[in-house]
């Protein structure tokens, strides 16, 4: 049993990681794991995916080849682990742990030549986090991560490669040109000897460089001059400061011959594209990470900033073409607002960071408690009991042998406490770690177990995280009152009751709101079927009402996706985001009620006009009145879709019921085995007690004999002396 209390809080207080200010260059001299911190990483699917994409890029990279780059987008809510995943992959790349051997073997399948490829250098990684819509600031963050020595060396190699290609062009022999370009790339200083010996025309090489710059940098003359002076001994620092938008000394602009500093987002975009081209020509992989890109492309109202979206579109097109990789990380709102043709370019490289499954949440807690051991994480089972009772709480309730071992490894956390943490945090990794940290701090002074009661007490002190059913109802009630719409509570729908219903003038519901508890593996399919049945009842009553489900805590991504097929208004409650997400739903209902009232008014006006003129007006069909209106017809296509979803959910429920039964059988077998072992030990004890008793009696008799001999010897000695 793992019973020793941790000596310090293993969980991060903020539940977040930071990458800014980290030395990112991958060289043998500068790479250290400590630069990226030592926070443990649980290998969830999303982390494996981004790791695989970067590994694939590095394994396929070929010096000088075009279009070998990738674009990847990480999409998910704040705190879902995107930045942590980036940091983890950056550490692997910096330490030379990517690409993996399996990726290298796959890369050979894509080679079109039997000749060995020149080995690329270690990649350079550039990271920037958007703090707002200022693209120039983002550009500066990225470019200042490129050291002067590196940019100057790569620019020289770029120029040397062009000189080698010029030799091939002069001799009308492309193969000779490729060989010369690779030779000079590895030893670029040779190019100056070429110019001294007039082996190649320096002017012609400069012309090639100008053409290359024009291709990727919009024909901006300033970049041509900056690259030229970057190789100068006297003006290289000024040229570097200009390219990276760092402070320049007075007169530097005039000395470089540039028109001014980089103060246009378009020029900054061309600068990034030029740097990607230089890296490709120099034979060094380049990975660019843009974090929180939603702040770049969305304004304060959540609307798309067209100019910045256009800049991003250009980078997505050009950077992979220059054999660099661009990784974007942002929230779902940003991804949803991007143009369809831009999103299509990412194809299969969209990685969705959803909430953690209960098993992954347990695994994350375990990996922080035991960062150097993988044994504990292996105990996690997708359908471990997560009910309020567990054997370690002393409240009874059957659990499996795996659950007992797991709770031992979770010490000082109890499974019931973990369940409550997952419920309240909704499976969000950042909030999960923050809550674990707060719970540990509360328990640590007295070395208490982190149980359900302690966690609930801690959570109640954090209104940004904690909530219960009554709090959620109060929030919804306040929002409804603010909308000034008619609503009722505890609304009957056949044998079921909804928590709220927004009614139109005919007293028919236009929006039904149903609150539901957090859903875990063992019951979420059943609850999803209950949601579907409620929608069917609404349709059977002939009500054209939307149905909004508010889940008070955790629900798996699989069930979320399924329920949204028949109930798009599906919201997972969190105190910080609920009102923002629920507001549009209420507004749509309010507009529907207003439109219904307008139609009713128009009908009444037509009826009044017809009666005044002595004309009999037959009104159109009216909606049902009250909660128990007559049954209405359901659209056949809608009915077919509901039946399809119902069949899927029933199949899922049957599968999980079978798994639950298997777990129960495992539990019974385990308890029976434990009982048999106890009886066996008792019987063995009885059989062994006779032997043990005889052994003890023999030892006692031997001790008595020894004492008698000793006493006799002493008496004999006294007699002789007398």
Q: What is the structure's pLDDT at 76? A: 93
Contact (CB, 8 A) for 508 and 622:
no
In this prediction, residue 321 carries a pLDDT of 97
Domains parsed from the chain with CATH numbers: 41-106+285-353 (3.40.50.300), 147-272 (no CATH), 358-460 (no CATH), 469-610 (3.40.1350.10)
> pLDDT band at 102, cuts 50/70/90?
low
Given a cut of 90, is residue 266 above it in pLDDT?
Answer: yes
**Please, are residues 198 and 170 in contact by the beta-carbon 8 Å criterion?**
no
At a CB cut-off of 8 Å and minimum separation 6, what does 521 contact?
357, 358, 382, 383, 386, 556, 656
Q: Distance (Å, rounded) from C-alpha 580 to C-alpha 575?
A: 10
pLDDT digits (tens, 9 = 90+) for 430-459: 999 999 999 999 999 999 999 999 999 998
Specify whether the CB–CB gap between 508 and 543 falls below 8 A.
Answer: yes
* Nearby residues of 345 by Cβ (< 8 Å), 6 or more positions away: 71, 316, 317
pLDDT of residue 390: 43
Average pLDDT on 98-108 reads 61
- Collapse the DSSP code of 704 into the 3-class scheme (helix H, G, I; strand E, B; otherwise coil) and give the result: helix
Within the chain, how many helices (H) and strands (E) appear? 26, 10
Q: Tokens for 52, please give them.
A: 């695989």
The structure tokens 């609503």 sit at 487
Q: Which of 524, 515, 477, 511 is nearest to 496 (CA)?
A: 515
Under the banding of pLDDT at 50, 70 and 90, the label for residue 103 is low
pLDDT at 52 over 50: yes
Give the C-alpha separation, 657 to 352, whole Å: 28
Q: pLDDT confidence of 523, banded at 50, 70, 90?
A: confident
Least Cα distance to 502 among 521, 528, 483, 515 occurs for 483
Q: What is the pLDDT of residues 221-265, one digit of tens each?
A: 999 999 999 999 999 999 999 999 999 999 999 999 999 999 999
Q: How confident is the model at residue 606 (pLDDT cuts 50, 70, 90)?
A: confident
Q: Using CA of residue 311, residue 312, residue 313, residue 319, what is the dihedral sign? A: positive
Cα 176–178–179 angle (5° rounding)?
A: 65
Residue 721: predicted pLDDT? 67
User: Mean pLDDT across the stretch 316-324?
Assistant: 97
* Per-residue confidence (pLDDT) for residue 30, from 0 to 100: 38
3-state secondary structure of 636: helix
**Which residue, among 259, 263, 237, 258, has the nearest Cα to 249 in the 3D structure?**
237
The residues that bridge with 570 in the sheet, in sequence order, are: 549
Average pLDDT over residues 364-376: 80
Residue 116: Cβ within 10 Å count: 7
Largest CA distance in the chain: 155
pLDDT band of residue 371 (cuts 50, 70, 90) is confident
Res. 322: pLDDT tops 90: yes
Given a contact cutoff of 8 angstroms between Cβ atoms, the answer to whether 410 and 365 are in contact is yes
Residue bearing the bigger pLDDT, 352 or 688: 352
pLDDT of residue 505: 86
522 pLDDT tier (thresholds 50, 70, 90): low
Which pair of structure tokens corresponds to residue 124?
A: 């350079």
Say what the alpha-carbon torsion angle 197, 201, 206, 212 is, to the nearest 10 degrees.
Answer: -120
CB atoms within 10 A of CB 571: 15
How far, in whole angstroms, is CA 420 from its chain's centroid? Answer: 21
Contact 105, 352 (CB under 8 A): no
Task: Determine the average pLDDT of the residues in 557-564.
Answer: 83
pLDDT over 50 at 715, yes or no: yes
The more confident residue out of 267 and 102 is: 267
Number of alpha carbons in the 13 Å side-chain half-sphere of residue 566: 27
State yes or no: pLDDT of 567 exceeds 60: yes
173 has pLDDT over 70: yes
Count CB atoms within 10 A of the CB of residue 76: 22
- 426 vs 160 pLDDT, higher one: 160
Rounded Cα distance, 518 and 552, in Å: 5
Least confident among 104-108, 181-185, 606-610, 707-711:
104-108
pLDDT tens across 283-312, in order?
999 999 999 999 999 998 889 999 999 999
SS3 503: strand
3-state secondary structure of 351: strand
- Please compute the mean of the pLDDT values over residues 472-479 and round it to a whole number: 95
Cα-based distances in Å from 74 to 340, 351, 353, 594: 17, 5, 7, 40
Give the total residue count for the chain.
Answer: 722
| Cis, bond preceding 412 (omega within 30 deg of 0) | yes
Q: Report pTM.
A: 0.76
3-state SS class at 248? coil
Omega cis (within 30) before 365: no
**Quick one: CA torsion of 367, 369, 373, 376, rounded to 10 degrees?**
-80
- C-alpha 424/C-alpha 279 separation (Å) is 47
Residue 629 has pLDDT above 60, yes or no: no
Whole-angstrom CA distances from 113 to 108, 116, 360 are 10, 8, 44
Rg (CA), the chain: 36
Q: What's the mean pLDDT in 315-341?
A: 96
DSSP notation for 523-579: THHHHHHHHHHHHHHHHHTT---EEEEEEES---HHHHHHHHHH-S-EEE--TTTHH
β-bridge mates for residue 352, sequence order: 75
Where is average pLDDT lowest: 267-271, 472-476, 548-552, 700-704?
A: 700-704
For range 273-288, the mean pLDDT: 97
Which range among 125-134, 187-196, 254-263, 386-395 shows the weakest confidence by mean pLDDT?
386-395
Distances (CA, A) of 676 to 306, 672, 684: 72, 6, 12
Report yes or no: 93 and 54 within 8 Å, Cβ to Cβ: yes
- CA 89/CA 106 separation, integer angstroms: 20
- pLDDT at position 123 over 80: yes
Q: Span 397-421, mean pLDDT?
A: 81
Angle of CA points 420, 423, 428, to nearest 5°:
120
From 565, 459, 525, 465, select the one nearest 659 (Cα to Cα).
Answer: 525
Select from 325, 242, 332, 263 the least CA-distant residue to 56. Answer: 325
The confidence score (pLDDT) of residue 389 equals: 44
Question: Which of 245 and 400 is assigned the larger pLDDT?
Answer: 245
Cα separation, 435 vs 422, whole angstroms:
9
In DSSP terms, 74 is beta-bridged to 329, 351
At 669 the pLDDT is: 58
130 confidence band (pLDDT: 50, 70, 90): very high
The H-assigned helical ranges of 322-428 are 332-337, 340-344, 358-369, 401-410, 415-425
Q: Any idea of the CA torsion for 518, 521, 526, 529, to the nearest 10 degrees?
A: 80
Q: Which of 281, 324, 320, 275 is nearest to 118 (CA)?
A: 281
68 within 8 A of 61, measured Cβ to Cβ: yes
Percent of the chain having pLDDT more than 90?
Answer: 52
| Whole-number Å distance between alpha carbons of 652 and 559 | 10
pLDDT average, residue stretch 669-695: 59
Which has the closest alpha carbon to 156: 214, 232, 225? 232
504-525: average pLDDT: 85
Q: Which pLDDT does position 15 carry in this prediction?
A: 62
On average, the pLDDT of the chain sits at 83
Q: What percent of the chain has pLDDT over 70?
A: 77
Which H or E run contains 125?
strand 124-129
703 vs 56: CA distance, rounded Å: 78
């Amino acid at each position: 049993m793992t019973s020793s209390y941790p000596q310090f809080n293993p969980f991060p207080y903020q539940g977040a990681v930071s990458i800014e200010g980290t030395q990112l260059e991958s060289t043998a001299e500068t790479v250290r794991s400590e630069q990226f911190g030592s926070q443990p990483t649980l290998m969830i699917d999303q982390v494996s995916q981004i790791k695989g994409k970067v590994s694939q890029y590095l394994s396929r990279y070929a010096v000088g080849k075009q279009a070998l780059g990738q674009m990847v987008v990480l999409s998910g809510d704040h705190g879902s682990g995107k930045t942590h995943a980036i940091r983890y992959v950056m550490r692997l790349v910096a330490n030379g742990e990517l690409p993996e051997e399996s990726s290298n073997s796959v890369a050979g399948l894509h080679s079109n030549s039997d000749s060995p490829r020149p080995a690329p250098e270690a990649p350079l990684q550039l990271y920037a986090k958007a703090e707002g819509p200022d693209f120039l600031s983002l550009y500066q963050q990225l470019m200042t991560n490129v050291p002067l020595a590196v940019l100057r060396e790569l620019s020289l190699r770029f120029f040397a490669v062009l000189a080698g290609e010029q030799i091939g062009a002069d001799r009308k022999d492309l193969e000779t040109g490729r060989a010369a370009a690779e030779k000079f790339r590895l030893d670029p200083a040779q190019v100056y000897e070429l110019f001294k010996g007039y082996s190649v025309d320096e002017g012609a090489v400069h012309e090639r460089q100008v053409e290359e710059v024009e291709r990727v940098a919009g024909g901006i003359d300033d970049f041509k001059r900056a690259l030229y002076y970057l190789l100068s001994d006297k003006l290289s620092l000024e040229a570097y400061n200009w390219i990276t938008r760092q402070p320049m000394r007075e007169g530097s602009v005039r000395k470089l011959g540039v028109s001014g500093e980089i103060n246009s987002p378009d020029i900054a975009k061309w600068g990034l594209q030029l740097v990607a081209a230089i890296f490709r020509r120099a034979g060094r992989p380049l990975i660019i990470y843009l974090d929180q890109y939603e702040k770049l492309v969305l304004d304060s109202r959540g609307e798309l900033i067209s100019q910045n979206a256009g800049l991003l579109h250009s980078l997505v097109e050009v950077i992979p073409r220059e054999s660099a990789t661009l990784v974007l990380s942002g929230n779902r709102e940003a991804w949803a607002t991007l143009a369809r043709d831009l999103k299509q370019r990412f194809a299969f490289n969209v990685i969705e960071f959803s909430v953690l499954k209960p098993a992954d949440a347990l695994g994350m807690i375990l990996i922080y408690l035991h960062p150097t051991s993988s044994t504990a994480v292996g105990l996690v089972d997708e359908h471990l009991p997560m009910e309020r009772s567990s054997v370690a709480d002393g409240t009874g309730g059957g659990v499996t042998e795996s659950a007992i071992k797991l709770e031992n490894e979770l010490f000082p956390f109890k499974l019931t406490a973990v369940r409550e943490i997952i419920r309240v945090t909704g499976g969000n990794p950042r909030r999960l770690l923050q809550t674990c940290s707060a719970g540990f701090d509360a328990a640590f002074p007295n070395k208490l177990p982190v149980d359900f009661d302690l966690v609930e007490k801690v959570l109640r002190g954090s209104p940004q995280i904690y909530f219960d059913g009554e709090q959620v109802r109060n929030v919804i009630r306040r929002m409804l009152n603010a909308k000034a719409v008619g609503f009722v509570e505890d609304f009957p729908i056949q044998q079921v009751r909804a928590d709220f219903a927004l009614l139109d003038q005919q007293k028919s519901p236009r929006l039904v709101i149903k609150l539901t508890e957090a859903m875990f593996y063992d019951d979420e399919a059943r609850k999803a079927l209950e949601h579907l049945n409620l929608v069917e009842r609404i349709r059977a009553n002939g009500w054209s009402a939307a149905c909004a489900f508010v889940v008070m805590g955790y629900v798996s991504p699989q069930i979320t996706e399924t329920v949204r097929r028949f109930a798009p208004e599906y919201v997972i409650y969190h105190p910080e985001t609920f009102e923002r997400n629920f507001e549009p739903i209420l507004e749509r209902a309010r507009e529907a009620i207003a439109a219904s009232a307008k139609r009713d008014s128009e009908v009444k006006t037509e009826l009044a006009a017809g009666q005044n003129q002595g004309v009999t007006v037959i009104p159109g069909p009216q909606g049902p009145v009250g909660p128990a209106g007559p049954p209405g017809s359901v659209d056949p296509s809608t009915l077919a879709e509901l039946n399809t979803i119902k069949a899927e959910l029933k199949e899922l429920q049957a599968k999980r019921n079978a798994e639950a039964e298997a777990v129960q059988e495992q539990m019974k077998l385990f308890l029976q085995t434990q009982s048999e072992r106890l009886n066996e030990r008792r019987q063995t004890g009885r059989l062994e007690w006779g032997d043990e008793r005889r052994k003890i009696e023999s030892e006692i008799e031997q001790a008595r004999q020894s004492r008698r001999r000793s006493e006799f010897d002493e008496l004999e000695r006294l007699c002789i002396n007398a």
